[in-house]
């Protein structure tokens, strides 16, 4: 699966995009989320403990973390982009809440 995240970080590195432009693009996109059903029994808990719940997902925040780990992002750039991702997810949560019918 291809991801635009490495391309955006490369554009930041080569100066063809500013940090503000990349952050804005991060705010505009949707980010995949890890669905994680909570274990309900001891056996499910033991099984979950043996699985890699942190598997890499292209197109997710994992791409940003990987770029930071490789030294492609400074601390400041990482913080700005992480906040942009959080803003995007919060906005998505607000849209979902507004679209879902009130159960009461």
Quote the pLDDT of residue 45: 77
Q: What is the pTM of this model?
A: 0.75
Contacts of 58 (CB under 8 A, 6+ apart): 1, 2, 3
pLDDT at residue 104, rounded to an integer: 55
Res 1 pLDDT > 50? no
Let me know: does 48 contact 39? Beta carbons within 8 Å.
yes
């Amino acid at each position: 699966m291809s991801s635009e995240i490495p391309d955006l970080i490369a554009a930041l590195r080569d100066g063809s995009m500013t940090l503000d432009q990349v952050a804005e693009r991060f705010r505009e996109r949707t980010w995949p989320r890890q669905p994680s059903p909570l274990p309900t029994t001891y056996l499910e808990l033991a099984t979950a403990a043996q699985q890699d719940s942190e598997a890499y997902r292209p197109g997710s925040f994992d791409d940003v973390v990987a770029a930071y780990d490789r030294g492609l992002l400074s601390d400041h750039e990482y913080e700005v982009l992480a906040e942009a991702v959080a803003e995007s997810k919060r906005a998505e949560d607000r849209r979902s809440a507004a679209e879902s019918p009130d159960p009461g």
